[in-house]
Each structure stands twice: as structure tokens, then as C-alpha cells.
Amino acid sequence: MFRRLLISFLIFFCFQGISFACVGKTIFIGHLDTKEDEIISNILSRLITERTGTSVKLKKYSDASTIINAASSGEIDLFIFDNIKISSFSKIADFDKAKSDFNTKFNLVFLKPLLEHKNEYIVPIIRKDTLKKFPALPRLIEKLNGLLPASIVSNLVKDAEKRGIKDTVREFLKSKSLI
Amino acid sequence: MRIFFLFLLFFYSTSELLANTLFVKEITTEEVWKGRVFIEGIVAVKKNGKLIIEPGSKIIFKTIDVDDDGIGDSELYVEGTIIVKGKKDLPVLFTSDNDDKLPSSWKYVMVNHAKYAYFDYAIFEGAFSGLQVHFTKAIVKNSIFRNNIDGFRFSTSIIYVCNNKMTKNRHGIRYEERDSNGIVEFNSIFENEIGIFPVTKCRNKVNFRYNNIEKNGYNIKVGDEQKEDLSFKNNYFGTVFEREIRKSIYDKKFDKNLPIINIKPVSKKPFMECDVKCLEDF
């Protein structure tokens, strides 16, 4: 026990610089514990990993405010919200005003919406720090724009129940020539 | 005289002990490993250190994940010199201590800003990256990279990579060329998710030629941030039919924002063992 503690201590404190310099960066994506959010986040994760080689990890949260807190504190880098969740925080339905509000209040940046129809939208939201580290990320995520309407996501959820999320996501992205 | 023998006995037994299980350790002089060596944590060959690993040695990385990032924490980190001298019938094995040898069970052999690296007849399995080389002159020959996330990964190095097998990795070879130059030839890169993954900043200064690159999910896949067209001439891609070959190469044909991978001329037949002529001097 003592030996393990000692090793842990040494790994963390003596060689931290070495260790962290070389595995590469990891992007953490937060999502709500719903099938739809899970599938969209998995699509995002797979796209980023396959196209950039960057490791991506998913973190599940029970409610939207926990996700905002996690993003503000740096626990996650990226998440996806729809207009309903956004308006529950900013009390503003309009996209541009909500965007500015999130930027000021939470230091979070709205990317281009994945889906936009009248006043309804789904938008990837990213930490400013993450954007500095991965400046090309928005361009990559934009490739999903328009590809995930509710009907498609619903089909993907059904498909994932039968075949597993990994294969479903992979096949979806392949069918769009995105990976 | 007796004191001398006692000293030798003490020295020998101490070396043996060190050579069996290494925890966090720095190598600052010349050290030779042979037999089974366990690594738990980080072993670093420092600037003035030199590590020589004898044929038939087994370097076994303990599966620990202290920071809980899903990647094993045991690693060998080289800033000095590493010479791995396996033989065809006595390769040097870099592996994990678990039976499954799952990718990421241990971290990597990392050669970074090192003086020199030489690997002949080595096997890397179950790692995050079997071998990473950065800012170093390195020769990697006759080795096997299997069941890793990245088999062999490099950037900004002078490299000669000949007659290796990369198989069942996520990426057989992953590289950011940057200021690298060198030759990658006579390798068999097969049954990986991606055979070769040029991530970014690749400029054709590393010559990939005479390789068998086949039966991978994609034989070559260009990273999203790669700008320049790339050349992979004189390689064998598992078929002579260009349309089939193009299907296995993820480039501009799949995404108009990506560059083109030029493959012509392609080899019409696979390179066989008798074709292999690794350079003696590089």
C-alpha cells in the first residue's frame, strides 16, 4: 500500500512535466444522460478522434446546470445544448443575444449551430481556452451542420439499441464520408 | 582480494535487483538490461545516460493508471541514448504485465530530444504508442508493432524505418512530419484501423517507398489539418486496380478540404522478404 502511494506520488510530482508532454491532448465532451445527447456526443467524439487523432472522452451529467458548471471550471471542454436549455440559463431565446450572454457570463463560445430552424437550434458550446488550443475544431465540427435533425437522431438511437452505439456512430459518419 | 570479491558480489547482486523491477528511476550512466525487466512508473534515460538492451530481453510494463485517464502510466522515456539489439530468434519484447495485452495498458517508449536511438528486432505490444520518436535521429528495423493505439509515431526527426510489421493498431504509423526527413521502406502495414496517418505539417521529406500497405480500414488517412498534397509512390496497396486503391485512401476524394495523396506509380506486386534490403549506413 505504502509502495503504491509512494509511486503515485512520484509519478505525479517528480515527472509530471515529462508525462503530460507526450500522450497528447484530450478533449472532454459533456452530455446529459439521455439517448439523444449520448448519440450526438459520440458522433462528435468519433469525428474529432478520427480526423485529428486527438483523444476524446465523454462525461455524463444528470442536469444542464451541472454541465455549465463543469465547463466553467474546466472539467469539460465542449458540450451541445438546444435553445430550450440555453434559454433556461440566459432567459433569452434569440441566438445572437444568448451567444453574447454565455460569452460574458460563463466564458463559453457558441459555434455555428448544428441545426437551426426559426427560433430552434442545437449548438456546440466550447470553452475559450479549448478554442485557443484547438483553433481548427470549429471547422471540423461544422461538417456536421444540417446532418442531425431530430428524425435522424431518433433513428440512430433505435439503431444503437440494436447494434451498439459504436457501430452505429461509425457507420453514420462513414455514410456521410466524414471518416 | 576478498574485499574486491565482496564488492563484486555486492555490485552484481545490486545490479540484478535493479534489473528485475524498476520503479521511478533515472539512468544517468551506461546501463545494460538483459532478461526480464519490470517497469512500474517512469524510467527515464537522462541526457548522459545510455541504455543497451540485450537480445531476448523482456521489458514488462506494469499496468497502473494512477491518473485514471484510461492510459497506463508505466513508460520508458529516453533523452540520452537507447540501443535495442534484438535478434531474429531473440527479439526484445516491450509488453504489459496483463494477459490481454490491450492497447494503452502501458504508455510508450518515448524517445524525445535524445542523442540517438536504435531498435533492431524489437516487439511493441499493448501500449498507447509502441514507440514515439521526436527530435532525434533514430533507426527502427525488423521490429513488430501490434495491438497499440499508435504503433510507431514520430515527428521532427531523422528516421530510417525498414522491414517492420505494423498490425492490429489503431494507427500503424502516425506522424507529424514537421522538419523530419528520412526513409520508411520495406515495411508491412496491415490490418490496422488506419495504416498510415499523416496528421499535419507533412511535406514529403520522409520518403515512404516499397512498403506493403494493405487490408487496413483505410490504408492512408490524411489528418484534418494537413494542407500539402502528399506522395506515397512505389508502394503496394493490396491490388493493382486504382479504383480499389483509391477507396482505401481518405483524402480529397472524400473531403474537398483535404489534400491529395499521390500514389502513382504503384507497385504491381507485394514486396517479398527476398526484396528487402535495409540500408547498412544511414
Q: What is the mean pLDDT of chain B?
A: 92
In a domain, B121, yes or no: yes
Nearest-Cα residue of chain B relative to residue A176: B254
Give the domain range for residue A169. 25-175
Please identify which residue in the block is written with the cell numbers 484547438. A134
Q: Is the pLDDT confidence value at A14 over 50?
A: no
Is residue A8 predicted with pLDDT exceeding 80?
Answer: no
* CB-based contacts of B11, cutoff 8 Å, min separation 6: none
Residue B280 lies in a domain: no
In a domain? residue A96:
yes
Residue A117's nearest CA partner among A83, A77, A85 is A83
* pLDDT (tens digit per residue) in A82-132: 988 888 887 776 788 889 989 998 999 999 999 988 778 899 999 999 999
Question: Does A18 map to a domain?
Answer: no
Mean pLDDT (chain A) is 86
Mean pLDDT value of segment B172-182:
95
- Average pLDDT score over residue span B133-152: 98
Percent of chain A exceeding pLDDT 90 equals 69
Q: Which of residues 34-73 of A touch B (CB under 8 A)?
A: 50-53, 57
The answer, yes or no, to whether residue A58 has pLDDT greater than 70, is yes
Domain CATH number, residue B136: 2.160.20
* Closest C-alpha to B198, from B173, B215, B181: B173
* Shortest alpha-carbon distance between residue B21 and chain A (Å): 13
Nearest by CB to A19, from B23, B42, B64: name it.
B42
Whether residue B157 contacts residue B163, with contact meaning beta carbons closer than 8 Å, is answered with no
Q: Structural domain of residue B216, as residue ranges? A: 2-275
Q: Chains A, B: CB contacts under 8 A, how many?
A: 66
- ipTM of predicted complex: 0.80
Please, are residues A53 and A45 in contact by the beta-carbon 8 Å criterion?
no
Mean of pLDDT values over B176-194: 96
Lookup: cell for A115: 441545426
Q: Assign 3-class secondary structure to chain A.
A: CHHHHHHHHHHHHHCHHHHHCCCCCEEEEEEECCHHHHHHHHHHHHHHHHHHCCEEEEEEECCHHHHHHHHHHCCCCEEEEEHHHHHHHHCCCCHHHHHHHHHHHHCEEECCCCEEECCEEEEEEEEHHHHHHCCCHHHHHHHHCCCCCHHHHHHHHHHHHHHCHHHHHHHHHHHCCCC
pLDDT of residue A152 exceeding 60, the answer is: yes
Short-list A19, A121, A115, CA closest to B67:
A19
Among the listed residues B66, B64, B130, the one whose alpha carbon sits nearest the alpha carbon of residue B95: B130
Residue B64 in domain: yes
pLDDT at B120 over 50: yes
Find chain A residues with C-beta within 8 A of B112's C-beta: 21-22
Residue B281 lies in a domain: no
A179: nearest CA partner in chain B: B250
- Tell me: pLDDT of A12 over 50: no
CATH of the domain at A85: 3.40.190.10
Q: Which candidate, A24, A109, A99, A121, places its Cα nearest to that of A72?
A: A109
B44, B134, B250 ranked by CB distance to A18: nearest? B44
A155 part of contact set with chain B, CB < 8 Å? no
User: B255 and A177: CB-CB below 8 Å?
Assistant: yes
Residue A16 domain-assigned (yes or no): no
Q: Which residues contact A2 (CB under 8 A, 6 or more apart)?
A: none
Is A11 close to B255, i.e. CB distance below 8 A?
A: no
CB B110, CB B75: distance < 8 Å: yes
The verdict on a CB contact (< 8 Å) between A12 and B70 is no
User: Is residue B254 over pLDDT 80?
Assistant: yes
Whole-number pLDDT of residue B68: 79
The minimum CA-CA distance between B26 and chain A, rounded to whole Å, is 11
pTM: 0.86
What pLDDT does residue B58 have? 97
90-119 in chain A: CB under 8 A from chain B:
none
| pLDDT tens per residue across span B9-66 | 444 444 444 456 666 689 999 999 999 999 999 999 999 999 999 999 999 999 998 8
Instruction: Give the pLDDT confidence score for residue A4 in this predicted structure.
Output: 53
Structural domain count of chain B: 1
Mean pLDDT of the B186-211 span: 97
Contact B77 A23 (CB under 8 A): no
The count of structural domains within chain A is 1
The answer to whether position B21 is within a domain reads: yes
The verdict on A19 touching B (C-beta cutoff 8 Å) is: yes
Chain B residue set in contact with A, beta carbons under 8 Å: 23-24, 40-42, 44, 64, 66-67, 69-71, 73, 75, 77, 107-108, 110, 112, 128, 132, 134, 171, 174, 197, 199, 221, 223-225, 250, 254-255, 257
**Is A5 in the B-facing interface, judged by CB distances under 8 Å?**
no
- The percent of residues in chain B predicted with pLDDT above 70, rounded, is 91
